[in-house]
Amino acid sequence: MSRNSRVAPFLFAFIPIFIVIALYYNQNSFLEAFEAKTYDLRFRDLRGAIPPSKDIAIVAIDDKSIAELGRFPWTRIQYIPLLEQLSAAGTKVVLLDAFFSEREKSSVDRAFAAAIRKAGNVVLAVPFDFDKELRVTGSTHSLPEIESAAAGIGHINLLPEDDGVNRRNKLLVEADGKLIPSLGLRGAMFALGEKEFVASPFEISLGKRHIPVEENYSMWINYTGKPGTYPRYSFTDIVHGRIDPALLKDKVIFMGATALGIYDMRVTPFDNNSPGVEVHATVADDIISGRFIRRTGLEALFDMGLIVALGLVTFYLTMRLRLHIAIPAVFLLSAGYVWLSYWIFLQGHWVSMIYPPLAAMISLSIGGSFRYLVLDRSAREMRSMFSSYLSAKLVTRLEKDPDIAKIGGDNKEVTVLFTDIKGFTTFSEKRPPQEVVTRLNEYLAAMVHVIEQFDGTVDKFIGDGIMAYWGAPIEQADHAKLSVACMLAMEKEMERLGAKWKVEGVEPFSIRGGAQSGEVVAGNVGSLGKKMEYTLIGDTVNQAARLEGAAKYYGVDFLIGESTYLMTSDIYRYRELDKARMVGKQVPVTIYELLGSLSEPEDERLAKFGAALSLYRAQKWEEAGRCFAAILNEIPKDRPSRIYYDRCEYFKGNPPAKDWDGIFNRTDK
């Protein structure tokens, strides 16, 4: 693969990552809406309700109270007994989600202010008006004499998101140079015994309690559940003394409307009709419990890191796996990430559920397209090129990594095998062409099947001959051992075919072959666009062909070159036959007959032949001749022993030169 083609996948891998990071950085409104919905989903459908703080309770202006006390809004006289009952019960603070900006009778207003002052723990509500940039443009306070009697004020503004859901609470509002806490924050301050707060751009501190906020002091609300999560006590029941004071002692009390007719309903992740007072109570609960949801720069870094990670992993999977495997793998990966983001959410961190899986989906699309248009095209070309003469297992490896073939010419260490049928010319002359072709096809099909079983590559058919090799186009460290194992399997397959043919009344035949290992040049040869084939070129190929021809001379089935012998002699048994110079070659080679596996019993005649061969090379013609004659007496058809016996007889009358090297020069192929 060229350098450019190697760089291309790397560049394509980052395209989806750049796209998603750009969308993330610009806070795409469409995707942010989906992300916000996942915030709701984590509460409503995944986590569910959690136990609220036992320190918080709600006094509800409910339908029962309206039925008993009259149409709302009520006169302030109604609130005085409420404050007296709560004060007598020993509540910690009473936070009124109500404001009293219009005057009643002076006596009523004074009496109400006196009740607030006497209680000493009443907080009044203040609503603010904002412009589009959330700058304060106005406010509505209670009457000065009433507000001055209170222990504090808290703003009650709930600012829903674009879809109407309240997910954040602005804990501090800046007005007239002062920071006004929200009703929920003010309740938490009383509960924690803190009179002051310290505000910084991303944190509000109440003593040792640090509240994570966004730049505008907004805190993500960690909702505890559906409406009714906190204990509710009817306004009228408290006023009429129907509630056990012990239930109110030391409680942070939020008073507000829960009756639908008063229209103080808010949309939360759990419900579309949640009383606003419960939202304020939840804010106080989060601060008191330290149960915060953080979405800070740390979470943003995590999001971007996972966008990169999921994008790259997905692209890698798409490149390495078939699409029918890669697609479910990517969906499982994305599902695993969603589970991880939910688990992180339970730890108090809101990380994106949308953007990293989106990076995975876009990577899958781009990677799949790139694979189909570029890599799979190469794989299809590989399959088209090699499938007719390469085993299915090796073709699959080439499809996954076409680069390993390095088509175009490359040096490879291989083992080459040539085989042909003994006496095929005579066989074919005696039979009709159709029968010859039928038998030949059956034979070739069986041999190709065996070669593919041992991961060999069929290069070509040469009449009745086969050229096969191991170690190209894919490197195979055990190419020599695979080839020898294949030769032994071919012999067994020929025995099976021979038995079959005998049953059919057809004359069987046998094969012989030669194999040699060494370096070749492997690549495509031919005319581009006309006729091309992948083949091997080099002296190793020539030697293997010469060995196959020499097998006929020596009368053996398979003749093995020295290189193959050295790489396989630890598991296979051989008989050294000769040191010979092949036709047209200057360098002699030692050649061996393949006998079988070392696990099989050794024939003692093998040792006898080796001893006789040593006497022959020592020019002891008489002794060597007698030894070879003894072997022939036992095995009359042992062609190598016959050859050496004849040589001994010849050298008795025609001794070679004293510096004879024992090498036999072949004169035919």
- Answer yes or no: do 572 and 654 share one domain: no
- Max Cα-Cα span within the chain: 153
- Answer yes or no: do 141 and 260 share one domain: yes
| Tens digit of each residue's pLDDT (9 = 90 or more) over 297-306 | 888 899 899 9
201: CB partners within 8 A, 6+ apart: 215
| Tens digit of each residue's pLDDT (9 = 90 or more) over 407-432 | 556 889 999 999 999 888 888 888 88
| Tens digit of each residue's pLDDT (9 = 90 or more) over 590-636 | 999 999 999 888 877 788 999 999 999 999 999 999 999 999 999 99
- Answer yes or no: do 473 and 366 share one domain: no
Assigned domain for 554 exists: yes
- Answer yes or no: do 377 and 392 share one domain: no
Pick the closest to residue 588 from 660, 663, 669 (CA basis): 663
Assigned domain for 206 exists: no
Assigned domain for 149 exists: yes
- Answer yes or no: do 363 and 509 share one domain: no
| Tens digit of each residue's pLDDT (9 = 90 or more) over 135-155 | 899 999 999 999 999 999 999
Assigned domain for 209 exists: no
Residue 324 is predicted with a pLDDT of: 79
Q: What distances in angstroms separate CA 579 from CA 289, 536, 585, 662, one per listed residue?
A: 92, 26, 13, 7
Domain span including residue 92: 52-195+225-289
Q: Tell me what the pLDDT averaged over the chain comes to.
A: 87
Question: E strands, 97-251, where?
Answer: 122-126, 128-130, 136-139, 152-155, 168-170, 172-175, 178-181, 198-200, 203-206, 209-212, 218-220, 232-234
Would you place residue 564 in the very low, low, confident or very high pLDDT band (cuts 50, 70, 90)?
very high
Assigned domain for 44 exists: no
Q: What is the pTM of this model?
A: 0.59
Full DSSP string of 215-237: TTSEEE----SSTT-S-EEEHHH
In 3-state terms, what secondary structure has residue 254?
strand
Higher pLDDT, 64 or 581: 64
* Backbone φ and ψ of 93, nearest 5°: -160, 150
In the numeric block, which tokens belong to residue 402? 């076409």
Flag whether pLDDT at 5 surpasses 60. Answer: no
Assigned domain for 405 exists: yes
- Answer yes or no: do 189 and 268 share one domain: yes
| Tens digit of each residue's pLDDT (9 = 90 or more) over 323-363 | 778 888 889 998 999 999 999 999 999 999 888 999 888 88
- Answer yes or no: do 429 and 504 share one domain: yes
| Tens digit of each residue's pLDDT (9 = 90 or more) over 282-300 | 999 999 999 999 998 888 8
Residue 332 is predicted with a pLDDT of: 93
Query: Which among 599, 626, 652 is the end of a domain?
Result: 599
Residue 2 is predicted with a pLDDT of: 44
- 212, β-bridge pairs: 203
Q: Helix 433-453 and helix 479-503: axis angle, to 10°?
A: 140
Residue 166 is predicted with a pLDDT of: 93
- Answer yes or no: do 282 and 308 share one domain: no
Assigned domain for 172 exists: yes
Query: Which among 242, 262, 289 is the end of a domain?
Result: 289
- Answer yes or no: do 333 and 284 share one domain: no
Alpha helices in 2-50 (DSSP H): 3-25, 29-41
Assigned domain for 249 exists: yes
- Answer yes or no: do 233 and 343 share one domain: no
* Backbone φ and ψ of 9, nearest 5°: -60, -35
- Answer yes or no: do 188 and 323 share one domain: no
Query: Which among 324, 352, 382 is the end of a domain?
Result: 382
CATH label of the domain that carries residue 420: 3.30.70.1230
Pick the closest to residue 394 from 472, 316, 320 (CA basis): 472
In the numeric block, which tokens belong to residue 426? 């005579």
Flag whether pLDDT at 312 surpasses 90. Answer: no
Higher pLDDT, 524 or 425: 425
| Tens digit of each residue's pLDDT (9 = 90 or more) over 148-192 | 999 999 999 998 888 899 999 999 999 988 999 999 999 999 999
Q: How many domains does the chain have?
A: 4
- Answer yes or no: do 570 and 465 share one domain: yes
Can you tell me the mean pLDDT for 568-584? Answer: 87
